[in-house]
Structure 1
């Protein structure tokens, strides 16, 4: 067998750039702050391949920590798509160890892995690093070469399931022997991250097992009663029983009810389509916004060819008006058309060309108008959308929680369940405008159809966003900023919130017990620029805007419908956006007639409501 070639200095640097992974230990956990201190590296020998050893030098001059300290990523099993936390700070300690404090996000995966860390299930740490410079320091008797990395850079930290070295674990330092818990050293010890001594032994209070059992029984009764009550009120008894069997919470069942309503509105059943107008699938695909606008143009009032081409659209509009009980001044686009995608291939225009010029042959499949609207509306992306509504709608809302009682011996537990109310929603008509050229309407290709739908969706979406944030409630929906009971945090500087002020928004909601893992910050573009260039803390490089488009561990969205002085934070799933009936289109041919443009006025019935005011916080300059 031929002898293997030993690696050279340059090959070690090249291979190290691909990242070695080294296992060390989780050291402490702070559940309240969601932070974990980890030891991620040491100067222990790392065995490479054939007769080669690498030692990472742990001096301040040898380790580049800029990438970690600038919001470095914390992953699960080194998967770049499993981003679960962010590095708050990284350092090299005097004992020659690399340590970091990381803060977990609140997404589903991040929450799952954080609980595993807290419970001691996920306890091993690995680091990915690059070696920029090495030197050969020793060749041993067995011909093993020992290299020292004198310039290296950690670029990510991972929580991993399979360690390379099982001798390290939670709470153990690097390179030291594991702590042995004896009776003498367990008399009083501090749990990681709490700072609160936990006493054991003689004199410690004894647990009242009977009281614990009674509390557990009462909590279970409350859970079951609450879920079953919701199931009866919202005609979902079988689903309620399933949630009880699966030990899920009333909050889980409330979210399920909303998603069920949302799912039905997004994808109407055939019966629901027939109740709207009764168009066949083929007619839905034939329906053309362009034909509608051509008919609305007064210049085509007596154009027989145009009206014949729009026979389907005119008939469907008349049927929609009758079914919806509306006396339309324009043409109503039926609900089933708004919910159906353009299922044909077409060419789309150059986005930079104004009013549909310079069309090119690029195949594309368009979404439904409702889906286009959702993509153009930030609040519809984060909130709960109910489309295709008919009449007034009542949404379940828990007004108060169930009550617990202190129960004496041989005393029955009082029956208790949550107090539930309803958020009432009713349609309000909003208007939005877009423009199109007469020359563009003369085209018959599907790219023009898609362009018009996109423009109308954008116009309506911007209006929905604006009302969702700032609606006054006077002949229009009430926006978040004007809802009574919404939390508020003052900003010292307009459009330039500090990290502490943004965290205070989270604290306000948490104080109302309304915080959940899926909350988000919504800001405007200028505030995003400020957050990208402003450190969280003085004399540090980590900025407010974190890796992965997050702030304070939460997703951050951007829209210029938010005023420069404001920022919004909260559980936007508690914001319900309802859409009724069809979209009504009218045409203004006069305002820009000299320029050959037609103004399209789109009118849509909507309402916006918050299930719980405490779920939101508004930050603004006083």
Structure 2
């Protein structure tokens, strides 16, 4: 079924389930045996349709990306009209949502997303304005130059930009079946019997992990009409939450955080002796597993060493040249930390980052509090933002972790 057909069918089943509950509630009784049996059938059907909806959404998005078309253009247009500042102000002033913000929240609630605050889409937190401020100080001078504000220098977000697959709007825990081994073709002499070499399967899973932050915005900031303020507030939330998610996708402990690549990846390599030959050996390790890497991920100190290490002694050409190492792009960020020790050593991760699956549950929940003791005395508004996500590699052996580079 097409995505819209799945959604229509799910909406009809949800309406049937609601009718059953309303009938019993109206008569001030519990569901009888027949009604309970009917409700259980509807519940199973709705759960199955939700799975079909996720799969249909993924396929349609993939088809649009393959064709170079925007993914879900109407939804993208709606999300592009949503203002974080408007969401905060509406919740703080306890007034009804309007416009695109109201439409988005209604759609999310129809899909079963629940929140105490105002819902805003994840996409707002992926837009990164270049070199804008992350503080509200001095925003109303006579000659206001938003383009000249100097913000904090933060780490660069890299993981999702390297091609990680995103599964949005998940419900419960997610289990994804995976083929562990395949059958084997066999050559036979006449009369020989084939040996059973059947397929085996296992699974990978995503479970909700929560991340959030509390920040403070002055009432004057929210009341100012300058359009640059929306970008300032949004950028600060991006830096606070998105960088925390990005960091966890690399270093996460798998307990409160997602299990990051450094823990989940099973491939290891060595560049303790840094040379063209050892670099090729690392690449060969993935090639033997039929993995074509799309990126190296490393730290600025390691990148500096690569830029000044010759590929061949006495000949021109360095290991890291034009942003590539052995023909594979190199992404450099402080999000990938050095390996602690005496002395510390540098890290690199090589792999196919499209093998990463990032799941998100619902939207970003924005909740305001005007009565928190400290902010209240200053006339400010405390803002809490929470979101839920997880990450799992489709194949743990699609990544090689190197952590012995001398700095």
Per-residue CA deviations over 1:332-362 (Å, capped at 9, x if unaligned) read 32xxx44589xxxxxx997268437475588
Q: Give 1:584 deviation, angstroms.
A: 0.9
Per-residue CA deviations over 1:161-219 (Å, capped at 9, x if unaligned) read xxxxxxxxxxxxxxxxxxxxxxxxxxxxxxxxxxxxxxxxxxxxxxxxxxxxxxxxxxx
Whether the 8 Å CA contact 1:467–1:477 is kept in 2: the answer is: yes
Please give the secondary structure, in 1, of the residue aligned with 2:401: strand
> d(CA) in 2 for partners of 1:430 and 1:458?
13
The match for 2:287 is: 510
Taking a change above 3 Å as real, the CA distance of residues 501 and 584 of structure 1, as seen in their structure-2 partners, is farther
Whether the 8 Å CA contact 1:590–1:598 is kept in 2: the answer is: no
Whether the 8 Å CA contact 1:395–1:423 is kept in 2: the answer is: yes
Whether the 8 Å CA contact 2:217–2:381 is kept in 1: the answer is: yes
Taking a change above 3 Å as real, the CA distance of residues 455 and 293 of structure 1, as seen in their structure-2 partners, is same
> d(CA) in 1 for partners of 2:58 and 2:361?
18
Give 1:121-270 correspondences, 5 Å limit.
Answer: 260=59, 263=62, 267-268=71-72
Per-residue CA deviations over 1:230-284 (Å, capped at 9, x if unaligned) read xxxx98xxxxxxxxxxxxxxxxxxxx999637648994587xx7xxxxxx977x6
Whether the 8 Å CA contact 2:135–2:232 is kept in 1: the answer is: no
Taking a change above 3 Å as real, the CA distance of residues 571 and 296 of structure 1, as seen in their structure-2 partners, is same
Q: Give 1:591 deviation, angstroms.
A: 6.4
> d(CA) in 2 for partners of 1:384 and 1:443?
38
Whether the 8 Å CA contact 1:433–1:456 is kept in 2: the answer is: no
The match for 1:290 is: 85
Q: TM-score by structure 1 length?
A: 0.44
Please give the secondary structure, in 2, of the residue aligned with 1:355: coil
RMSD of aligned alpha carbons: 4.3
> d(CA) in 2 for partners of 1:431 and 1:538?
50
Please give the secondary structure, in 1, of the residue aligned with 2:311: coil
Give the one of 159, 183, 207 matched to 1:379. Answer: 159
Please give the secondary structure, in 2, of the residue aligned with 1:389: coil
Please give the secondary structure, in 1, of the residue aligned with 2:337: coil
Give the one of 297, 310, 313 matched to 1:538. Answer: 313
> d(CA) in 2 for partners of 1:436 and 1:601?
11
Q: Which runs of 5 or more residues in structure 1 are unaligned?
A: 1-233, 236-255, 274-279, 298-305, 342-347, 363-374
Give the one of 388, 392, 403 matched to 1:605. Answer: 388
Structure ranking higher on relative contact order (CA contacts 8 Å, 6+ apart): 2
Check if 1:486 corresponds to 2:285.
no
> d(CA) in 2 for partners of 1:575 and 1:376?
19
Check if 1:520 corresponds to 2:301.
no
Please give the secondary structure, in 1, of the residue aligned with 2:329: strand
> d(CA) in 1 for partners of 2:228 and 2:303?
34
Aligned positions, number: 324
Whether the 8 Å CA contact 1:571–1:615 is kept in 2: the answer is: yes
Q: Give 1:315 deviation, angstroms.
A: 9.0
> d(CA) in 1 for partners of 2:103 and 2:368?
19
Whether the 8 Å CA contact 1:566–1:618 is kept in 2: the answer is: yes
Q: Give 1:474 deviation, angstroms.
A: 0.8
> d(CA) in 1 for partners of 2:402 and 2:374?
39
Q: TM-score by structure 2 length?
A: 0.64
Check if 1:556 corresponds to 2:336.
no
The match for 2:244 is: 463
Whether the 8 Å CA contact 2:134–2:236 is kept in 1: the answer is: no
Check if 1:398 corresponds to 2:179.
yes
Per-residue CA deviations over 1:21-56 (Å, capped at 9, x if unaligned) read xxxxxxxxxxxxxxxxxxxxxxxxxxxxxxxxxxxx
The match for 1:616 is: 399
The match for 1:331 is: 118
Whether the 8 Å CA contact 1:520–1:569 is kept in 2: the answer is: yes
Higher helix share: 2
Please give the secondary structure, in 2, of the residue aligned with 1:509: helix
Please give the secondary structure, in 1, of the residue aligned with 2:361: strand
Whether the 8 Å CA contact 1:438–1:597 is kept in 2: the answer is: yes
Q: Give 1:614 deviation, angstroms.
A: 0.9
Taking a change above 3 Å as real, the CA distance of residues 559 and 592 of structure 1, as seen in their structure-2 partners, is farther
Q: Give 1:587 deviation, angstroms.
A: 4.5
Q: Give 1:418 deviation, angstroms.
A: 4.3
Per-residue CA deviations over 1:115-171 (Å, capped at 9, x if unaligned) read xxxxxxxxxxxxxxxxxxxxxxxxxxxxxxxxxxxxxxxxxxxxxxxxxxxxxxxxx
> d(CA) in 2 for partners of 1:329 and 1:316?
15
Whether the 8 Å CA contact 1:480–1:486 is kept in 2: the answer is: no
Computing the radius of gyration from Cα coordinates, the structure with the larger value is 1
Q: Give 1:611 deviation, angstroms.
A: 1.2
